[in-house]
Amino acid sequence: MTIKTAKAHRVGMALLAFSIAAASHGQDNLTLEEIVVTAQKRPQSLQDVPLSVSALGGEKMDAAGLNNLEAVSTYVPNFSINQTGISTTISIRGISSGINQGFEQSVGMYVDGIYYGRAQLARAPLFDMERVEVLRGPQGILFGKNSIAGAVSQTSAKPSQDFESRITALYEPEHGEKDLRAVISGGLTDDLAGRLSVMKRDFDGYVDNTSTGKKEPAADEWLVRGQVRWDASDNLALGLKLEQSQFDVSGRNIEVIGDTAGETGVGLSTVYPIFSGGEALDADQNGKRQANGDTSENKTHNATLNIDYQWGEHQVTAITGLAGYEYDELCDCEYTGLNTFTLGLDEAYRQWSQELRIVSPVGEALEYIAGVFYQDSHLEFHDDFNVPTTSALTAVSSALAGYNSQRFFEQDSQLWAAFAQATYHVNDQWSLTLGGRYTTEQKTASRFSQSSTQAPNPDVIPGVTLLDLAENVLRAEPHSEAGKRDEDSFTPLINLQYQISDSAMLYATYTTGFKSGGFDVRSNASSDPAVGVPGAVTSALGQPPSPVGVFEFEEEEATSFELGAKTSLLDDRAELNAAVFRTEYDNLQVSIFDGGLGFNVGNAAAAISQGIELDGRLRASESLTFTAAIGYLDFEFTDYDNGECYFRQAEFEPDTVTNAALDMCSFDGKRQAYTPELTGSLITNYQHQFQGGLVLNADLDLIYSSEYLASPSLDPRLTQDAFVKVNARLALAATDGFWEIALVGKNLTDEAVLTYGAEVPTSATLVGAATGQQGLAYYGFYDRPRSIALQARLQF
| C-alpha neighbours within 13 Å on the C-beta side of residue 771 | 20
Q: What is the pLDDT of residue 284?
A: 55
Amino acid at 37: V
With a cut of 50, list the residues of the chain below it in pLDDT.
Answer: 1-27, 276-283
Interacting residues of 311 by C-beta distance below 8 A, sequence separation 6+: 235, 358
Domain ranges, ordered by start, for the chain? 5-640+671-795
730: exposed, middle or buried (Cβ count in 10 Å: 0-12, 13-18, 19+): middle
- Given a contact cutoff of 8 angstroms between Cβ atoms, the answer to whether 604 and 592 are in contact is yes
Q: What is the pLDDT of residue 71?
A: 86
Q: Could you tell me where the beta strands, DSSP code E, fall in 232-387?
A: 236-250, 254-259, 288-289, 295-311, 314-331, 342-359, 366-386
313: exposed, middle or buried (Cβ count in 10 Å: 0-12, 13-18, 19+): exposed
Q: What is the pLDDT of residue 546?
A: 66
- Given a contact cutoff of 8 angstroms between Cβ atoms, the answer to whether 609 and 640 are in contact is no
Task: From 607, 599, 597, select the one nearest 667 (Cα to Cα).
Answer: 607
788: exposed, middle or buried (Cβ count in 10 Å: 0-12, 13-18, 19+): middle
**b/e burial code for range 741-750 (CB count within 10 A of at least 16 → b):** ebebbbbeee
**Fold exhibited by the domain 5-640+671-795:** Maltoporin; Chain A (2.40.170)
188: helix, strand or coil: coil
331: helix, strand or coil: strand
Which phi-psi region, left, alpha or beta, contains residue 140 (left: φ > 0; alpha: ψ -120 to 50)? Answer: alpha
User: In angstroms, how far is CA 492 from the centroid of its own chain?
Assistant: 26
Which helix (H) or strand (E) is 764 found in, with range? Answer: helix 763-771
Q: What is the pLDDT of residue 536?
A: 53
Task: From 692, 696, 693, 785, select the one nearest 742 (Cα to Cα).
Answer: 696
d(CA 440, CA 725): 44
442: exposed, middle or buried (Cβ count in 10 Å: 0-12, 13-18, 19+): middle
Evaluate the CA torsion angle 539, 541, 545, 550 in order and state its sign: negative
Q: For residue 210, count other CB atoms closer than 10 A to its CB.
A: 12
Q: What is the pLDDT of residues 64-103, one digit of tens each?
A: 888 888 888 889 999 988 777 667 788 899 888 877 888 8
Q: Could you tell me where the beta strands, DSSP code E, fall in 173-235?
A: 177-187, 192-203, 207-209, 214-216, 218-231
Q: What is the pLDDT of residues 450-483, one digit of tens each?
A: 888 876 777 777 777 777 777 777 777 888 999 9
Written as one string, the DSSP assignment of 620-643 is: -SSSEEEEEEEEEEEEEEEEE--E
d(CA 511, CA 136): 12
For Cα atoms 775, 779, 784, give the angle at the middle one, nearest 5 degrees.
160
- Given a contact cutoff of 8 angstroms between Cβ atoms, the answer to whether 480 and 60 are in contact is no
Q: What is the pTM of this model?
A: 0.89
Q: For residue 427, count other CB atoms closer than 10 A to its CB.
A: 8
